[in-house]
Amino acid sequence: MRNRNTIEFIGLWEQFNNPLFNSIEFDGIKNMAGSNSFSPTPKRWIEATKAVGLVSKAGRYGGTFAHKDIAFEFATWLSAEFKFYLIKEFQRLKNDENNRQHLEWNLQRTISKINYRIQTDAIRENLIPGEIKKQQANLVYANEADLLNVALFGKTAKEWRVVNKEKPGNIRDYATIEQLVVLSNMESINSLLIQQRLPQSERLLQLNRVAIAQIKSLIAIKTSERPNNFL
């Protein structure tokens, strides 16, 4: 702890994580760091600054304990090999996280496409008159697809393209995971509503209520998750 870089690091950690940290006392300690007369101990540091990142206990089973952020910093200072493996592990975890998110997005996109096929079958059986031209049938499908777009995104595919001319793909290619989950559910619900021969205006209102309720639920679940960063 005589090292100035150590003092700066643990002081910065406290500033980020400890609202009761005594920054004024910390500035004085930092200015003294590196001098021959500077001989801090974890216990003195804790008492002077009200730090929480370090814990110092006396006795047979005592010792100095640190939050894992500080412990990792200390270990990287002790061992270049540990620092190297820590960096490699961080890169691996970030790559795994990115790949997992990509796979999750693709899975929801695939489910959405499968359910859309179920919806088009329901449209063919319940909305499209017999013996009509394929072009006419496609117009009905596009209309039903935009019904879901309006219920979930508040705009049709054409309206989205007007303000996003520079972007490739369509409005659903830029949907979030939560939106894709809800869209998948809405497609199944819309298929049932079509089979019940409900008018489109009524289905739009019902689907919009479903979208609002489910998006709120997913957001509430997501924001309630709090990772535990302390050992």
Give me the number of domains the chain comprises.
Answer: 2
CA distance 99 to 171: 23
In a domain, 230, yes or no: no
Q: Which of the listed residues 51, 78, 105 is the one where a domain comes to its end?
A: 78
Give pLDDT tens digits for 101-112: 676 777 677 777
**Residues 52 and 10 reside in one and the same domain:** yes
In a domain, 39, yes or no: yes
Q: Is 117 exposed, middle or buried (0-12, 13-18, 19+ CB in 10 A)?
A: exposed
**Residues 97 and 197 reside in one and the same domain:** yes
**Residues 53 and 128 reside in one and the same domain:** no
pTM exceeds cut of 0.75: no
Q: Three-state SS for 38?
A: coil
**Residues 148 and 171 reside in one and the same domain:** yes
Higher pLDDT, 177 or 109: 177
**Residues 102 and 210 reside in one and the same domain:** yes
Give pLDDT tens digits for 190-214: 888 888 888 888 888 888 888 888 8
Q: Residue 211 belongs to what domain range?
A: 93-224
Q: How far is CA 147 from CA 12, 27, 83, in A?
A: 52, 61, 54
Nearest alpha carbon to residue 56 among 3, 10, 8, 4: 10
Higher pLDDT, 143 or 88: 88
Give pLDDT tens digits for 23-33: 999 988 888 88
CA distance 30 to 10: 11
Q: Three-state SS for 169?
A: coil
**Residues 97 and 187 reside in one and the same domain:** yes
Nearest alpha carbon to residue 171 among 155, 184, 186, 185: 155
At 135 the pLDDT is 55
